[in-house]
Amino acid sequence: MAPDTVPASVRRNGSGREPALLIDGMYAGYGRKTVVFDTTLHVMPGEIVGIFGHNGSGKSTTIRAVLGTNPAQRGTIRYFGDDVTRSSSRANVRAGMALIPSERFVFADLTVRENLLLGGANEKDADARSRRLDFVYELFPILQEREGQLAGTMSGGQQRMVSLGLALMTGPRLLMLDEPSLGLAPSIVQQIFAQVRRLADEEGLSVVLLEQNVAAALRIVDRVYVMRSGRVILEETVEEMRARESYWDLF
């Protein structure tokens, strides 16, 4: 990537590393309707970036454009240096992107184990699949205890763990989480967020975290973008955001 294509905030980072995700001047929406305007943001390898904003601010549309389910209308999306602006969602998933939507995405009529193995179905190496499964069970021991239970009969928090485990079984390099705390007890949110932080620190996983639960998210993110009415209105480090006396006026 040529130096002048990298936003100043990335150049100031000084690490010399390629961003895991770089969105530059992106417009996105549905059909002819544009709901995200001139958005620029980046995520470095092993970094957790939070995108905050109310419903309708453009958060979900942004990551759907990244994955390719709702392609960007204008602008550029780069994934570890490769231009994926026009790539299909299937190609992006194969390249290592994973998205967990805000709804509890599990296959309700399959067992926990069947859900997880389905996530690893594209991995031809049986040993690699087995290692990933063991790793998911290490992260969330309750899933191993309940591996024979139908996923649809589990609690909301346990289903969220299954959906995260399913995504991890694909071997992602970039994980996008849409409102993972929605409807969950604080203790479950804390447990899930702690494991997401561990994945970034120990496995180098890059994470985009969309959240309205700002207080919980600020415990694990490295940087923050705030979106309002389809535009990024603020970028701050987590320290800068925590230092604010109030952040609700941003929304």
123 & 57 share domain: no
Instruction: Compute, in degrees rounded to 10, the torsion defined by CA atoms 88, 91, 97, 102.
Output: 40
| CATH code, 76 | 3.40.50.300
CB 149, CB 111: distance < 8 Å: yes
Q: What percent of the chain has pLDDT over 90?
A: 77
Whether 239 has a pLDDT exceeding 60, the answer reads yes
What CA–CA distance (Å, rounded) separates 189 from 180? 8
25 & 122 share domain: no
Overall domain count for the chain = 2
Confidence at residue 16, expressed as pLDDT on a 0 to 100 scale? 59
Q: What's the domain range around 121?
A: 102-171
CB 229, CB 39: distance < 8 Å: no
13 & 76 share domain: yes
For 77, 94, 151, 152, 155, the CA distances from 50, given in Å and listed in that order, are 18, 24, 28, 29, 26
The overall average pLDDT reported for the chain is 90
Q: What is the pLDDT of residues 94-133, one digit of tens each?
A: 999 999 988 777 999 999 999 999 999 988 899 999 999 9
